[in-house]
């Protein structure tokens, strides 16, 4: 070995001895958390008082559902969606009137905002939390008739059962064009101001709902959608939500 | 154990192959080190297990069970990190009642090391998130959310470096675009920056400047968007970057039975993993490190 070769080897040795650790092998697996694993006592004991406090409220029976209602049991309107939109109208309208001296014209919510089913049997506070876990609140936007028309076009194109309250009737054609739209059985008047209740998420453009702005004013009711449902359920011994013709599509 | 196994063979030759004849085998002592990465994502306040009547997730999940499992793995290998890829909040009344306090306290008791921020972690507003920070004894990382004009400033770092058994592990975070997903009143002045650009900066910094042996991205940008091919995702991120070893994802609630192996921008393997949601599963990735002799320049054997 020449001196040059020796130096080269020493240099290589130096490199390798200083080199950072290299990954030689990687193993990946997914572990299932199920009843075969015993809960850790310390953690279980820590959760217990929180669980008991929450459950005491959650298991409170506030109504009864004769059937199971899901957001997929109708094409453009569902029993559960109609129930929610009508509850926002029925509970929100007195609050809005008290604040402004005016009445809500109708309600629009979003299909994605129905987060769970209502199961047949006892309806508890937990049901309301499951259906509406988010903290969104009711707001009422004063929008002109042309904005309401924009909303109708949006609904016709969305092809989803976005919940609307019973004061609105929208019929669309097989080609997803607005065939007719009425509020309180009257055609939409572009010069008129409508008071539309929704939630703060949609008001701020959630789900691509851009028609709430610009507007002629906003009233924040400081009333969570979930509390609307709880208050509404408490007043109703047995829920009877139905699918109807408030938002329908023609076959031709 | 029923899991399918296959070994992805390294394509690269070993660096030492050329000089093997010079008797390097006698040099130094070879020691294998093992780093275990455990991870969750999108737990969404699921503290209790699902009940026996739940259709899809019956009897699965539960933080107290997760704690037992994590303890057992840590006992076997003390060089274990526990990470979460965001959406810790929202999904059960525990969040509505306690605002995330219980979630953070339990994660601290399980000794989580690092978490990133998901869109639902803004559900009580950025002030609601900030209010729970004192309960978190772990670190938050996000490289593409600029919190400097918010209350969260200084409480979220772009990255965190942890040294275990002499192995330097760099972990950085990435969050999803908030506009249109979260109400502006909730995230306030949080600024969303391009995740791929930030990931390129971070991996360069962690690998080249900080000389990390292992680079992990905790991502809440989502696994893959087939319907929306322009949308950035973990798979795109893996292909567009280099020097990331593992991307732990979230947001899309994707149940991967095993990590996905992607090729990065220079043709090296990157693992992308995500374990669905609600704490039904715990992800586990073991990295074995060799120093001294028989160092491969590239392409570790991957067993998944």
The pLDDT, as a whole number, for residue B180 is 78
User: How far apart are the CA of A29 and the nearest CA of chain B, in angstroms?
Assistant: 5
Beta-carbon separation of A33 and B47 below 8 A: no
Beta-carbon separation of A28 and B259 below 8 A: yes
* Residue A219 domain flag: yes
The pLDDT, as a whole number, for residue B291 is 79
* Residue A158 domain flag: yes
- Give burial (CB, 10 Å; 0-12/13-18/19+) of A14: exposed
The pLDDT, as a whole number, for residue B166 is 96
* Residue A204 domain flag: yes
CATH code assigned at A220: 3.90.780.10
Question: pLDDT tens for residues B168-223?
Answer: 999 999 999 998 788 888 999 999 999 999 999 999 999 999 999 999 999 999 99
> Which positions ≥6 away from A20 have C-beta within 8 Å?
B168, B211, B213, B291
In b/e form, how buried is each residue of B22-50, taking b as 16+ CB within 10 angstroms? eebeeeeeeeebbbbbbbbbbbbbbbbbb
The pLDDT, as a whole number, for residue B106 is 98
Mutate to test the interface with A, among B36, B65, B135 (most CBs of A within 10 A): B65
* Residue A6 domain flag: no
The beta-carbon neighbor of B3 closest among A29, A34, A40 is: A29
A113, A132 Cβ separation under 8 angstroms: yes
Beta-carbon separation of A43 and B110 below 8 A: yes
Query: DSSP letters along chain B, please?
Result: ------EE---SPPGGGGGGGG-GGGSS--EEEEEEEEEE---TT--SPPPTT-TTTTT---HHHHHHHHHHHHHH-SSEEEEE-S--S-SSHHHHHHTTHHHHHHHHHTT--EE---GGGGTTHHHHHHHHGGG--SEEE-SSEE-TTSTTTTTEESEEEEEETTEEEEEEEE----TTTS-HHHHTT-EE--HHHHHHHHHHIIIIIS--SEEEEEE-S-S--SS-TTS--HHHHHHH-SS--EEE--SS--B-SS-EEEE-TTS-EEEEE-B-STTSEEEEEEEEEEESSS--SS--EEE-
Q: If you count residue pairs, one on A and one on B, with CB atoms under 8 Å apart, how many are there?
A: 197
The pLDDT, as a whole number, for residue B52 is 87
Beta-carbon separation of A20 and B123 below 8 A: no
- What percentage of chain B reaches a pLDDT higher than 90? 79
Give the count of domains, chain A. Answer: 1
Question: pLDDT tens for residues B21-65?
Answer: 343 443 445 689 999 999 999 999 999 999 887 778 999 999 999
Mutate to test the interface with A, among B36, B183, B268 (most CBs of A within 10 A): B183
B91, B152 Cβ separation under 8 angstroms: no
* Residue A193 domain flag: yes
* Residue A89 domain flag: yes
pLDDT, one tens digit for every residue, chain A (252 residues):
566 665 555 444 444 444 568 999 999 999 999 999 999 999 999 999 999 999 999 999 999 999 999 999 999 999 999 999 999 999 999 999 999 999 999 999 999 999 999 999 999 999 999 999 888 999 999 999 999 999 999 999 998 999 999 999 999 999 999 999 999 999 999 999 999 999 999 999 989 999 999 999 999 998 999 999 999 999 999 999 999 999 999 988
Q: How far apart are CA B170 and CA B163, in angstroms?
A: 9
Question: pLDDT tens for residues B258-271?
Answer: 999 999 999 999 99
- Give burial (CB, 10 Å; 0-12/13-18/19+) of A248: middle
Residue A76: which domain range? 57-249
The pLDDT, as a whole number, for residue B183 is 85
* Residue A243 domain flag: yes
* Residue A136 domain flag: yes
The pLDDT, as a whole number, for residue B30 is 66
Please provide the CATH number assigned to the domain covering B17-303.
Answer: 3.60.21.10
CA-CA distances (angstroms) from residue A224 to A87, A92, B80, B91, B184? 12, 10, 43, 16, 18
Residue B8 pLDDT grade (very low, low, confident, very high; cuts 50, 70, 90): very low
């Amino acid at each position: 070995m020449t001196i040059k070769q020796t130096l080269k080897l020493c240099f290589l040795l130096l490199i390798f001895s200083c080199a950072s650790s290299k990954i030689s092998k990687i193993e990946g697996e997914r572990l299932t958390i199920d009843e075969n694993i015993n809960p850790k006592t310390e953690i279980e004991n820590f959760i217990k008082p929180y669980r008991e406090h929450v459950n005491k409220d959650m298991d409170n029976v506030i109504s009864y559902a004769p059937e199971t209602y899901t957001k997929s049991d109708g094409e453009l309107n569902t029993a559960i969606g109609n129930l929610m939109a009508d509850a926002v109208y029925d509970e929100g309208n007195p609050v809005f009137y008290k604040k402004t001296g005016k009445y809500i014209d109708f309600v629009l919510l979003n299909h994605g905002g129905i987060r769970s089913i209502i199961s047949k049997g006892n309806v508890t506070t937990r049901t309301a939390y499951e259906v509406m876990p988010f903290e969104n609140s009711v707001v009422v936007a004063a929008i002109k008739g042309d904005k309401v028309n924009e909303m109708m076009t949006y609904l016709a194109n969305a092809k989803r059962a976005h919940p609307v309250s019973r004061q609105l009737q929208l019929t669309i054609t097989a080609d997803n064009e607005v065939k007719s739209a009425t509020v309180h059985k009257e055609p939409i008047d572009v010069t008129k101001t409508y008071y539309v209740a929704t939630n703060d998420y949609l008001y701020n453009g959630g789900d691509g709902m851009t028609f709430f702005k610009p507007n002629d004013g906003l009233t924040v009711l400081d009333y969570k959608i979930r509390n609307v449902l709880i208050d509404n359920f408490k007043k109703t011994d047995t829920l009877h939500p139905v699918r109807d013709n408030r938002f329908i599509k023609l076959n031709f | 154990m029923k899991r399918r196994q296959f070994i992805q063979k390294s394509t690269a030759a070993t660096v030492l192959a050329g000089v093997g004849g010079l008797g390097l085998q006698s040099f130094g002592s070879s020691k294998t080190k093992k780093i275990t990465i455990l991870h969750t994502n999108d737990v969404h306040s699921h503290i209790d297990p699902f009940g026996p009547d739940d259709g899809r997730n019956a009897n699965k999940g539960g933080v107290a069970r997760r704690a037992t499992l994590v303890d057992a793995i840590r006992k076997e290998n003390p060089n274990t990190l526990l990470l979460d890829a965001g959406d810790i909040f929202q999904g059960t009344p525990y969040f509505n009642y306690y605002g995330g306090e219980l979630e953070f306290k339990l994660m601290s008791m399980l000794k989580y090391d690092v978490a990133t921020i998901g869109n639902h972690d803004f559900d009580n507003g950025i002030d609601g998130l900030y209010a729970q920070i004192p309960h978190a004894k772990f670190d938050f990382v996000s490289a593409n959310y600029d919190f400097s004009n918010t209350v969260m400033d200084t409480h979220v770092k772009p990255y965190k470096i942890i040294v275990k058994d002499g192995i330097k592990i760099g972990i950085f975070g990435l969050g999803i675009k908030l506009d249109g997903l979260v109400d502006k009143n909730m995230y306030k002045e949080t600024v969303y920056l391009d995740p791929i650009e930030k990931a390129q900066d971070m991996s360069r910094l962690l690998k080249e400047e900080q000389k990390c042996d292992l680079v992990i991205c905790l991502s809440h940008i989502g696994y893959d968007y087939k319907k929306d091919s322009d949308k950035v995702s973990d798979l795109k991120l893996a292909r567009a970057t280099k020097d990331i070893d593992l991307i732990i994802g979230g947001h899309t609630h994707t149940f991967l039975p095993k990590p996905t192996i992607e090729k990065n921008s220079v043709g090296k393997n990157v693992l992308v993993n995500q374990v669905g949601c609600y704490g039904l599963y715990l992800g586990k990735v073991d990295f074995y490190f060799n120093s001294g002799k028989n160092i491969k320049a590239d392409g570790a054997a991957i067993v998944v």
